[in-house]
Structure 1
């Protein structure tokens, strides 16, 4: 078995997506995960480590701890003990040991350390007051809490810090792969963001560039395919002609989430771009039409 083969890379991506979607499940075992991507448990363990540079257990633990770190920052009123039990740790002591091993700070020190950082203010409830946010000038044209359907997408995955250049590179690669397949016309494209960018190490942040498929296309697509799970989302709509506004647009969406008192669910957020038929013209004219969609916890 050659771990470098495209087929194995695709299956490991399926495994990582499955882990992220089921990170709170108590029965998220190696057997369950390996069965999901159709690789024997023995080979799956070795292939995952060869491709990702960390074991399945290490990836799962890191992903869970990153979520606990985000929870600590976005919910400063919560006791650390509450966060530990919510994320399946047997006791606060085990949680603190695991947390410190990953972040080199105890949960309480981590919370104090980040509370003073200006760049994290959009993320911290403790640093944002609703009356001040009402005066904040947002790029959002409109926003709504709505139920989205499942989206089947063909996608390619990139690693690296979230930013414009990485996203453009990912979509250029995606377009080069889908043009021969004739996946063009009036259909949405998607940028899918799996990790908490200001907590996860830059080289471990996962970003997918994808294009919407019909059911028939999804069954026969030669590229990697995934389903973006539908459900309740905060959808923020934008239209602007300056690519440099994307960072602020992202901040605006998360501030809107806070203003409404919502909590993000354990699913990836994504950007849903206007139809691919307009994509080339939009890039040339620097005009962007898209929605930032953040999953909402019930």
Structure 2
């Protein structure tokens, strides 16, 4: 049994290596021959193996991954022209890009840019999430008290991207918490798997030096308190941080003899998608602890 489990993990690692390579090299020529060499699989069996593992064929996987990046570029990179996003997604022309986009997401790219329907996006986008890296090393650190500008998201997790767009709009308009120089945090009050969608709470935060004045986006000033925290480092998509969060709460905490402070788990996003590929996202997960 142990040997079979080891073989299974090795197989999964090879398939994930292919998926990682695709996500990190979306602008390159992702030929089957090249992907087979990455996976160390025979090209005569690769298509079936890949489809069995991901649920879609390799060409569809590549297209869907490029379209996901295009969605985030449309929503959060207003400086990019739609025609350039289409070509970057490897479509021959804007028309074919628009047809494929609307067929999958129910909106034209121009409509999505103006008013993205993220709940519909989550319903229609079906692609296995990349696994996060499995390193579970925990470090105890002293977090420094940090003043933050906060947009309070309240409602289904599927609409969180709408709140992100509002927060980005405030950052650009105010100049008080620019993404390039300010630290970006998220305060996770609730677990979306155990919380009714209408009750889900999440704060989008950017560090600031001064209190935030009244603004049309509803951004307010809060403080992330200083103190001891357990930190675990996550590399990969935000959607697959759950394993590390559950490890912190379910395994590490009971064995550590530590006690939690009255403050939620929070995240420090060291970079963001689509600025970097999803497999290169880096997030520190903080669990606030009482003084020793």
User: With structure 2 as the length reference, what TM-score do the two structures score?
Assistant: 0.51
Quickly say closer, same or farther: Cα 1:119–1:245, change in 2 above 3 A: farther
Aligned residues: 189
1:112 corresponds to which residue? 114
Quickly say closer, same or farther: Cα 1:242–1:79, change in 2 above 3 A: farther
2:102–2:108: 8 Å Cα contact kept in structure 1? yes
Quickly say closer, same or farther: Cα 1:51–1:131, change in 2 above 3 A: closer
Quickly say closer, same or farther: Cα 1:131–1:241, change in 2 above 3 A: farther
SS in structure 2 of the partner of residue 246 of structure 1: strand
Distance in 1 between residues matched to 2:242 and 2:190, nearest whole Å: 13
Structure 2: gaps (5+ residues): 119-158, 193-230, 245-259
SS in structure 1 of the partner of residue 30 of structure 2: coil
Q: Give how far 1:43 is off.
A: 1.5
2:135 corresponds to which residue? none
SS in structure 1 of the partner of residue 283 of structure 2: strand
Q: Give how far 1:79 is off.
A: 2.5
Distance in 2 between residues matched to 1:95 and 1:125, nearest whole Å: 28
1:127 aligns with 2:169: yes
1:54 corresponds to which residue? 56
Distance in 1 between residues matched to 2:52 and 2:117, nearest whole Å: 37
Q: Deviations over 1:114-150 (max 9, x none)?
A: 28978524346873353535279x9xx9759xxxxxx
CA RMSD of superposed structures (Å) = 4.3
User: With structure 1 as the length reference, what TM-score do the two structures score?
Assistant: 0.51
1:285 corresponds to which residue? 289
2:67 corresponds to which residue? 65
1:14–1:37: 8 Å Cα contact kept in structure 2? yes
2:236–2:280: 8 Å Cα contact kept in structure 1? yes
1:265 aligns with 2:276: yes
Superposition map of 1:131-150 within 5 A: 131-132=173-174, 134=176, 143=183
